[in-house]
Amino acid sequence: MAVVTPAMAGTPGAVAAARPLGACASGLPVSHRTVVFLDPGHGANVAPTKATSGGSTGIYSGENTSGGGEDANVFTVALRAKALLEQAGYKVVLSRTSNPDRLRRTLWQKGNAAETANSGKPADIAVSLHTDAKANIGAGQIYYDNQGGYRQNNSNSTRRVFDNPAVAAKSKAYGVQFQKVRNSLQGTWIGLYAGHHFAASRNLGSYGTIPIVMLSAQHVPWVYNEFGRTTSSGLSSHDISVYVTSVVRGVEHSIGPAVVGCTP
């Protein structure tokens, strides 16, 4: 039977400080760590293909690059948040490990990766990182899993629906935590919404009311962040730091301290 020990002392609200990873007694091997999946958006132009597994099976989706410094900014945020979360004892898995993305993953492949991020099992939480012009989103927005949300192919009648009420409820609760953290750190109101609308006119391969990464990962509570760009060329170094801190604190407030399982 697994022995569980808290990996991080202190309150969940504290910024993750440098401290030793949770360890197993008497040299027992680690069998499990709390897994955080970080998804820095974009990274490659990939034509839509039909998902072959996961909750979006049969739905077309690809990936695209982005302007306004988004690809590079969110990748920086992901790497810095990953380092801090690992210091706090979490295992962190990224949806892409280079910028540009050498693997050229589609959105459905990124979602599927979250479903298996914990040694073949779903991650405990997934966090998408995006930026957009303030004219579009103000200081920022947060989307949570939209129970009943769907995507439908532009080219045929195939439709897939998000149907996991328990995960959707967790996702919403985590979104509320991220909203509180970001409201405080950014000093302004951050909107919180169930899913997001994707119009057929965007030619993404499918249209509907939930991001593909969420639809593809119906066993992972997902928090999808949009952060308003400081200028048209991207985030300032200050805003990058605010974004990093909001991810670390948002994770800690959502799922609590990292837990380490030890195999006797």
With beta carbons less than 8 A apart as the criterion, state whether 35 and 118 touch: yes
Q: What minimum distance in Å lies between the beta carbon of 128 and Zn ion?
A: 8
Instruction: Name which of 62 and 261 has its Cβ closer to Zn ion.
Output: 62
Query: From the centroid of its chain, how far is CA 239?
Result: 18
DSSP annotation string for 113-125: HHHTTBTTB--SE
When binding is defined by CB under 5 A, the residue of 40, 41, 54, 261 that contacts Zn ion is 41
Closest by CA to 125, choosing from 79, 92, 81, 83, is: 92
Q: What residue has token string 């004892």?
A: 89
Q: How far apart are the first and last CA of the chain?
A: 7
**Residue 16 in 3-state DSSP?**
coil
Segment contacting Zn ion (CB under 5 A): 7-15, 37-45, 163-171, 243-251? 37-45
Contact 248, 9 (CB under 8 A): no
Q: Which stretch binds Zn ion (CB under 5 A): 45-53, 129-137, 148-156, 197-205?
A: 129-137
Q: Please tell me whether residue 249 binds Zn ion under the rule CB under 5 A.
A: no
Which lies closer to Zn ion via its Cβ, residue 211 or residue 257? 211
Using DSSP, state whether 201 is helix, strand or coil: helix
Count of all residues that appear for the chain in the document: 264
- The least distance separating Zn ion from the CB of residue 66, rounded to whole angstroms, comes to 5
137 or 176, CB closer to Zn ion? Answer: 137
| 28/103 with CB nearer Zn ion | 103
In the list 50, 91, 105, 130, the residue contacting Zn ion (rule: CB under 5 A) is 130
User: Toward Zn ion, which CB reaches closer, 75 or 150?
Assistant: 75
Rg from Cα positions in the chain: 18
β pairing state of 30-33 and 259-262: antiparallel
Which string of x and - marks every residue 143-182 that binds Zn ion (by CB under 5 A)? Answer: ----------------------------------------
Amino acid at 21: L
CB 194 → Zn ion: shortest distance, Å?
Answer: 19
Cβ proximity to Zn ion: between 130 and 160 the closer is 130
Q: Which residue type is seen at 180? A: K
User: Which residues lie near Zn ion (CB under 5 A)?
Assistant: 41, 130
